[in-house]
Amino acid sequence: MSYPEPRYLAEKGEVSARLRTAGQPADLVMGPHTDDPAQRRTHVHHLGTGATTNGAFGLYRWEMGPRPGGAGAHFHRTITESFYVLDGSVRLFNGDKWIDGNPGDFLFVPEGGIHGFRNESGAPATMLILFTPGAPREGYFEELAEIATTGRELTEEEWTDLYLRHDQYMV
């Protein structure tokens, strides 16, 4: 393995770094509104999107409430996906079995790899999700959030269309 071809060709570096501080509010809240802290919704932070990383990667922090929820078994044709558990316990599907992922656990899924994740612990959990290259996953997450927040029910054809538009193939 070697370094890729240079993407930056100027002689001198430039000031172009972007800082996102930890205290910034979530970019997206998933799930129906509730005042009950035991039913806390998922807060998604768009740390680095494909648009802000010049297509290199997409990095998202998922802060899941104690309610069960997550993604069922699926795969992607165009992107890899990686999971890194920060807090709590997250069930990770490696294509063969569900495993309890705990802080510091990491799961890498290449293109075509079947995977999924769920918080079934009854307690909050937080993880990082990394996509490479940087596909516009936030559009998919925003559509899911709208569906969950409004309670709108999709037909099988509408689900199929949503998944196909976002490189999501359910198993």
The answer to whether position 72 is within a domain reads yes
**93: in domain:** yes
DSSP lists the bridge partners of residue 99 as 92
**Segment 67-80 mean pLDDT:** 94
Element spanning 80, H or E: strand 80-87
pLDDT number for residue 35? 66
Residue 15 has pLDDT above 70, yes or no: yes
* Domains: count for the chain: 1
* CATH value at residue 56: 2.60.120.10
Residue (of 71, 69, 55, 64) closest to 169 by Cα position: 71
Q: Which of 3-7, 75-79, 95-99, 155-159 has the lowest mean pLDDT?
A: 3-7
Residue 171 structure tokens: 């198993």
Whole-number average pLDDT of the chain: 93
Q: Tell me which residue range forms the domain holding 100.
A: 40-170
Residue 28 lies in a domain: no
Residue 52 has a CB neighbour count (10 Å cut-off) of 16
pLDDT tens sequence across 104-155: 999 999 999 999 999 999 999 999 999 999 999 999 999 999 998 888 999 9
Distance CA 64, CA 88 (A): 9
DSSP helix, strand, coil percent of the chain (3-state; round to 5): 15, 35, 50
Predicted local distance difference test score (pLDDT) of residue 149: 84
User: Does residue 86 sit within a domain?
Assistant: yes
Predicted structure pTM score: 0.91
Does residue 10 form part of some domain? no
Closest CA to 95 of 113, 76, 81, 119: 113
pLDDT at 132: 97
Q: Is residue 141 situated within a structural domain?
A: yes
